[in-house]
Structure 1
Amino acid sequence: MSLPSAVIPKAEVIGDPIAHSKSPLIHRFWLGKLGLEGFYEKTRVGGEELGDFFSDRRNLPGWRGCNVTVPHKQAVIPFLDRIDPVAAKIGAVNTIVARDGALIGHNSDAAGFLEPLQPSLNDRHLYRMARILGAGGAAKAVAHALSSHGFTLVIAARNLAQAEALAAEIEDVDTHVATLDHFADPTDFAFDDRSGVLDLVVNTTPLGMTGQPPLRLDFSHVPPGAVIYDIVYAPLETAMLAEARARGHQTVDGLAMLIGQAAEAFRLFFGQAAPREHDAELRALLTA
């Protein structure tokens, strides 16, 4: 669908494929709640079309920018005029803001990921450790976000070299690597006293998503009291989260990160904070 011609604030999400994106629903919901005039759409853009897309949009009246989803979070970087320091550190852009003809790249994934963890992060801990399953674009944002809060990281990927490459990017904290298969098989490792420790297990892979193979995680690798976080949101309760809840773990689902990162993008596009007091209604809408 083409963007409307009226000079009103406009934004969109681009990717290939794009039909699955829930971003338009989220941003339109907030625009409606605030009574703001604005428009948000999804647009399929192939990799070979990125140059023409940005040439067309750069000076389009009212165009505030776009969110970027797979597979373009790194491919868009050459078309930008500036990159926010957080996005530059992560090496991926998921939000592009148009300002006076310039395109500025941001990454709201890191802030969106951390948002539901903030109550725990506000506490002091003797030690913080995160097991990150996956080493792709989402894992990069997660790893950099957690490193800024002093977590020791274990990064696990199907391709060990990919995990090693991500670990090499992380500065100032200890990093370790493993294969995903390591966490699939039972272990007899005896965890020590975890009181005063913040343990986190994060799935950043598409495994467990509708239409994808399941994520194989044996909970003998999960420390007592660990927070289990799955960024997959279709289904909202993945097999990993269901087992974690049954075992008494605190859990965070994928909508938390999705809504959190969208709120930061909304502020950048439309100049107002998202009305988060309506989160329960929005979550019901997203899962209907």
Structure 2
Amino acid sequence: MAETSKKAFVTGHPIKHSRSPMIHGHWLVKHGIEGSYRAIDVAPENFAEFLATLQANGYRGGNVTIPHKEAAFAGVARRDHAADEIGAVNTLWFEDGTLWGGNTDGHGFAANLDDHAPGWASNGPAVVLGAGGASRAVIHALKERGVGDIRIVNRTLARAIELRDRFGGGVSAHPLAATGELLRDAGLLVNTTALGMQGNEGLSADPRGQPADPRGLPADPRLLPDHAVVNDIVYVPLETPLLAAARARGLKTVDGLGMLLNQAVPGFERWFGVRPKVTAELRSLIVADLVPKSPAPKP
């Protein structure tokens, strides 16, 4: 490939499952850009060296995923506001030779809701299930959009309290037992936990071994008002048990795939100079890849 071609990457450990090369590869072809975007598996003990050699290896930047987001936060020279607020970096780029780190997860979350549930930010209080890294990005986005009542529910209350203290006014922390009451006037329910993810269907949300809801859901959408929107950031499967239950209740539902697609937009623009669009064509391409492949018939 010519020396003038633009190079970017996604790194994690493991990383072979990532759909990012498919997303960025699609945009490179669409825009006729001579460039590449590849997945690079980097073990945690090698991550600092990987960062130090990025520019020498010709990379304009890239994406960072589990388990390197916090290490990237510590390893860059400058960070954007979102990264500082969330405490993690998922996007790297160079400005005048300086390595910057940003976080586009909150942007991806909000843009996904904008696309599929316009007006969501003025819908009322938001209940956020979970207090991990993904919930930090969601809470940041909710605050940026002016949601004034954000209720964090988590199995370990202390972790929810940590986020409440981190994000300040308008954010409250609650135990699982309070979920039902918190839902009754909520306009948005967001699941950031792994409950409902493929392979975690039997995960219990309660420290005593009982699910938070008798049907094994992280929360019961039957308790929500009619105008509520339910979002699950999980995208494998596309329709989680929570979303299926919310749809059966007649509520507006938004799956997690759009968050993945939209969080990729700002990075592509920084590395390749074009702001791409999240289209139905791109979504269909990724959805087709999410479908389990049938084994080849035996001869």
What TM-score comes out, normalization by structure 1 length?
Answer: 0.87
Task: Please state whether the residue corresponding to 1:57 is helix, strand or coil.
Answer: coil
Count, aligned residues? 272
Change (3 A) 1:59 1:156: same
Residue 118 of structure 1: how far off its partner (Å): 3.1
| Structure 1 contact 112–264 (Cα < 8 Å) conserved | no
Tell me which residue corresponds to 2:113: 117
Structure 2 CA distance for aligned equivalents of residues 181 and 56 of structure 1: 49
Structure 2 stretches of 5 or more lacking a match? 203-216, 289-299
Match of 1:280 in 2: 280
Decide which of 167, 172, 187 is 1:170's aligned counterpart: 167
Q: Distance in 1 between matches of 2:54 and 2:32?
A: 25
1:5 deviates by 8.0
> Given residue 231 of structure 1, which amino acid in structure 2 is its aligned partner?
I
Pairwise mapping of residues 1-288 of structure 1 onto structure 2 (< 5 A)?
6-61=3-58, 63-118=59-114, 125=122, 128-148=124-144, 149-173=146-170, 175-180=171-176, 182-183=178-179, 187=180, 191=184, 199-214=187-202, 215-276=217-278, 279-288=279-288
Residue identity matched to 1:44: D
Bigger shift: residues 6-15 or 253-262: 6-15
CA RMSD of aligned residues (A): 2.3
* Residue type at the aligned position of 1:206: A
Cα drift, residue 59 of structure 1? 2.7
Whether the aligned pair in 2 keeps the contact of 1:59 and 1:101 (CA below 8 Å) is: no
- 2: CA distance between counterparts of 1:67 and 1:162? 27
Residue aligning to 2:214: none
Equivalent position SS for 1:217: coil
Report sequence identity in percent.
Answer: 42
TM-score, normalised relative to structure 2: 0.84
**Match for 1:158: what amino acid?**
R
Deviation at 1:106, TM superposition (A): 0.6
Give the letter for the 1:280 counterpart: A
| CA pair 18-182 structure 1, distance change in 2 beyond 3 A | farther
